[in-house]
């Protein structure tokens, strides 16, 4: 498995991408979607846990908090909406192509 992450400028493009991925067999629960404009910092883990948008990344320790985009190496943009999906290696080219067709301005593989 590999994770592909696309950054798209607007919600319509994200909707198109999500629908397209669902049409080829991906489940919405397997996707992480985060609006970079709405990501925020928290003062305490309790505040973060209360927010539905809080996503714990692999690098987070018990008291370490961060936004989803901070955990993506090589990510250049700071605007738009990101969509991350885990894909089998044999489907990665198809997923990348759908991301491009949906209007992704940046695609990262990690």
Q: Given a cut of 80, is residue 72 above it in pLDDT?
A: no
79-92 per-position pLDDT tens digit: 888 899 999 999 99
pTM score of the predicted model: 0.72
13-67 per-position pLDDT tens digit: 999 999 999 999 999 988 988 887 765 555 555 655 555 444 444 444 444 445 5
Specify the long-range contacts of residues 19-26, CB closer than 8 Å, at least 24 apart: 20/98, 20/101, 20/102, 21/85, 21/95, 21/98, 24/91, 24/94, 24/98, 26/85, 26/87
Separation of alpha carbons 110 and 106, rounded Å: 13
Q: What CATH code would you report for 2-109? A: 3.30.70
Residue ranges per structural domain of the chain: 2-109
Separation of alpha carbons 67 and 95, rounded Å: 24
């Amino acid at each position: 498995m590999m994770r592909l992450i696309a950054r798209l400028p607007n919600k319509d493009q994200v909707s198109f991408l999500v629908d397209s991925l669902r049409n080829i067999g991906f489940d919405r629960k397997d996707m992480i979607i985060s609006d970079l404009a709405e990501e925020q910092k928290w003062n305490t883990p309790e505040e973060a846990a209360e927010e539905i948008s809080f996503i714990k990344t692999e690098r987070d320790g018990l008291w370490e908090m961060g936004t989803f985009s901070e955990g993506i190496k090589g990510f250049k943009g700071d605007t738009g909406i990101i969509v991350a999906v885990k894909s089998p290696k044999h489907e990665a080219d198809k997923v990348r192509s759908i991301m491009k067709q949906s209007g992704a301005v940046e695609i990262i593989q990690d």
